Amino acid sequence: MHAKSTPIPVFRALQKIGRDLRDARKRRRIPMELAAARAGISRTTLSKIEKGDEGVAVGAYVRVMFIMGMVQRFAELADMKFDQIGLELESEKLPKRIRIGKGK
């Protein structure tokens, strides 16, 4: 962890993603070498991903998710339906009442 730059929640989230991907690989009985080859990354990079290394490109994480059949979950990460704060802010801007204009 880069103590000065990485917020603890980010660090923990990356560690969890790494553990989850490692566990998914193991449940599928896929050796590291084969998983890395299928994802088009090195075994070292896969090891870093499974440890939650923040220095690994997000594309490498997504490739590993793809070979595990989990890529759709990545595609939905920032989906508007999960953006509770954004939805609340948007609903605050809705008009109190809607009037029918004259001549319509």
For 18-48, how does the pLDDT look when each residue is reduced to its tens digit (9 = 90+)? 999 999 999 999 999 999 999 999 999 999 9
Q: Are 24 and 70 in contact (CB under 8 A)?
A: yes
**Secondary-structure percent of the chain, ordered helix, strand, coil, rounded to 5:** 60, 0, 40
What is this structure's pTM? 0.75
Residue 88's pLDDT is what? 81
The band of 55, judged by pLDDT with boundaries at 50, 70 and 90, is very high
Residue 2 to residue 54: CA distance in whole angstroms: 9
What fold characterizes domain 8-77?
434 Repressor (Amino-terminal Domain) (1.10.260)
Q: What is the mean pLDDT of the chain?
A: 90
Helices marked H in 28-57: 32-39, 43-50
* Count of other CB atoms within 10 angstroms of residue 74: 15
